[in-house]
Each structure stands twice: as structure tokens, then as C-alpha cells.
Structure 1
Amino acid sequence: MKNYLTLVLIAIFSIVAVSCDNRNDDVLVNDNDTFSVVLDINNVNFSFDAQNGYFISRSFTKPLFNTDVVLIYRKTGTASDGSPVWQSIPRTIFLSNGNELDYDFDFTKNDIMIYANGNYDIATTPQYLNAQTFRVVLVPASSGAKNAKVDYSDYNSVISYFKIDDSKVTNL
């Protein structure tokens, strides 16, 4: 009987010990080599060559750290209060007659390339190739940030989460 009572007490203690967890599961971003930065590419036209198709290329003034990630947003208009409306890329824009235009990008530690492609001759829609504005956001790619509760497709969510002062935008 004593052994049975001892086992029951150990089991109860184990359940109580495991269930009393006061850990905070909020993810904190602590990346000591990345300072979140916002850069603009203003009023630019896509270039064309046979290898890349339609593209915009920019180099960083300093190479990125391996722990940096690049997010890019395209300005699609202006809200009623005058603030810009940003749309994350990659993005597919569905046009009339089944036409689709795609914006995409890639990056290295030294540069970025933004691409425009479509299932039609996109030169026939110059409004998507000329006078475009893009916002480049550099953020840490630490494991905490990648699992964070932030919607990377929402520019304002990213700016808020990483506490970025986007009033200090520089041109790239």
C-alpha cells in the first residue's frame, strides 16, 4: 500500500511540475549585426536584355551580413490620406484577357534584381514598367524573426514589428 501511495504522489507531483510552465513564448528579435534599413528605388524604368528580360538592378553600398534578409514592396498608389500603398513582391497582377504580369526579385549580399515577366508581351503595358517605385527593407533573418508573428507581405506590419523608422528612407 505504501508503494502504491508513493507512486501516486510522484505521478501527481510530475503532472503539477510539468503543467506549471510560466515561460513567455513571445519571440524577441536580437540580432546584433543587422540594423533594419529602409531604402527606396524611386521613379525607375525597367531595363531589358535577352538574359534577364525586364529588370532593375541595384548594388548595396555595403555587403549584407549572412543574417540579413531583403523584403521588397512596390508602390501601387496613394491612400486617401496621401500615404503610399505598398504591395509585397513577388506578386502576380491579373489583367484583362487572361494576361498576367509577375514581379519577382532575388538578392545576394551585394545587390538586388527586380524582374517583370508576363504571359504576354509586357512592353504593351508600359505603365507597369516605367516610373515604378520600390521600397527595399533589410531585416534580420534570425530564427526568432523567421518564426515571429509578423505578416511579411504587409509593409506596415514589418515596419511595426522591427520598430523601423521609415521617415528616414535613403535612395538605393
Structure 2
Amino acid sequence: MKKIFLLLSVVSLFTLSSCVDDDPDVVYNNTDNYFEAEVFEVNQATFSFDANTGYYTSFYELNPALYPADMILVYRLKEVNNGSDVWEMIPKTLYYDNGDYVEFDFDFTRNDIVFYMGANYDLGTDPNFLQNQVFRVVIIPGYDNSARIDLTDYNNVIKEFNVDQSNIKTLQPKK
């Protein structure tokens, strides 16, 4: 019995030690930021009414285009408190005591992102929402299956994915 166990151990050792990572179909990229999270900012987003959707919209190009497995998180600048930005994740609905509400949402393709804004009242009467909105778009590589992170907290996401905030790029409106 001991000889069989020893023989199986030796065979297993040779089998496992012959494994290498030279698979030509797999690309290893440990030298650049190909697989790092990126952050883009939309400054002073201005919304215009889209009669087809019934929402106010604002379109932006994603450059470079997303990879198929990438994930997008979007945050809206809610306020600045004592010099610190306060970000809230969207989709988000803001409810008011009088029963009114304003909702923020987005959708995206590999090449662009669209921000939507709607309300149960005429947003045209409240230009504070339709002009100068600031959004942060965080692109997370799809391969990353990090353990439980609170994605609703922008600062936590930035910290978890090691994002250098001095390298935030600006998204351009889609033409």
C-alpha cells in the first residue's frame, strides 16, 4: 500500500510540475494598466428633452471603448461639504416632502453613455437639475471578482481599485 501511495505521489508530482503558462491563446499583461479601473468625469452636463423617451438626456462618448466584460458604475456629485465632494450612486430617485421626485439613471454601450433625468413635474421649471451636473463614471475590468465591496460608496470603490484620482479623464459630449 505504501508503494502504491509513493508511486501515485511521484506521478502526481511530475504531472503537476509540467504545467506551464505558455498557452498561446492567453494574453498575460502585467506591465501596464490594461486591467486597471478607470475614472472619467462629466463636467457641467447639460440635459435636453428627448420626446422619444420622455426624459431629459445627455450623451457622451466612451473613449477608449469598453471591453465586453467591463462594468460601469456612475456617481453624481450631490454636494460639496466642507471642501469634500459627496457622491451618490445612480440610478437614484430624490423624493421631496410635497410628493415631487426627480430620478437619475443611465445606460451605456461599448462606445457611449447616456444620462437620463426624469421627474413627476416639469423639470424645465427647475434649471438647477438640467444644467451643470457633474458625474463620475468608474469602469471596472470584468475579470475582477473582488470580494464584497460597497459599490455605493464612491470613495470606497476608488480605494479598493487603487484609482489615482489625479488621472481622471473628461468625457466629451457625443456629436
The TM-score normalised by the length of structure 2 is 0.74
Tell me the equivalent position of 2:128.
127
Tell me the equivalent position of 2:70.
68
Q: Structure 1 residue 67: deviation in Å?
A: 1.7
Q: Which amino acid aligns with 1:94?
A: Y
Q: Which amino acid aligns with 2:135?
A: F
- Contact 2:36–2:161 at 8 Å: present in 1 too? no
Write the deviation string for residues 62-98 of structure 1: whole angstroms up to 9, x where unpaired. Answer: 2110121111110111121x12111110000012410
CA spacing shift, 1:143–1:36, aligned 2, 3 Å: closer
- State how far apart, in whole Å, the 1-side matches of 2:157 and 2:149 are: 6
Q: Which amino acid aligns with 1:121?
A: D
Tell me the equivalent position of 1:40.
41
The TM-score normalised by the length of structure 1 is 0.75
Tell me the equivalent position of 1:78.
80
Q: Which amino acid aligns with 1:162?
A: F
Q: Which amino acid aligns with 2:120?
A: N
- State how far apart, in whole Å, the 1-side matches of 2:64 and 2:166 are: 21
Tell me the equivalent position of 1:108.
109
What is the RMSD of the two structures over their aligned residues, measured on CA atoms?
Answer: 1.7
Gapped regions of structure 1 (runs ≥ 5):
1-30
- State how far apart, in whole Å, the 2-side matches of 1:34 and 1:48 are: 37
- Contact 1:34–1:65 at 8 Å: present in 2 too? no
Q: Which amino acid aligns with 1:157?
A: N
The 3-state SS of whatever aligns with 2:150 is coil
Residue identity (%): 40
The 3-state SS of whatever aligns with 2:152 is coil
The 3-state SS of whatever aligns with 1:144 is coil
Q: Structure 1 residue 143: deviation in Å?
A: 6.2
The 3-state SS of whatever aligns with 1:167 is helix
Write the deviation string for residues 11-32 of structure 1: whole angstroms up to 9, x where unpaired. Answer: xxxxxxxxxxxxxxxxxxxx96
- Structure 1 segments (4+ residues) deviating >2 Å: 31-35
Write the deviation string for residues 98-148 of structure 1: whole angstroms up to 9, x where unpaired. Answer: 001100011111110110011222222221111111111111233623xx2
Q: Which amino acid aligns with 1:66?
A: P
- State how far apart, in whole Å, the 2-side matches of 1:151 and 1:113 are: 24
The 3-state SS of whatever aligns with 1:85 is strand
Question: 1:1-172 to 2 correspondence within 5 Å?
Answer: 33-52=34-53, 53-80=55-82, 82-142=83-143, 144-145=145-146, 148-172=147-171
- State how far apart, in whole Å, the 2-side matches of 1:111 and 1:34 are: 20
- State how far apart, in whole Å, the 2-side matches of 1:35 and 1:64 are: 12
How many residue pairs get matched? 139
Q: Structure 1 residue 54: deviation in Å?
A: 0.3
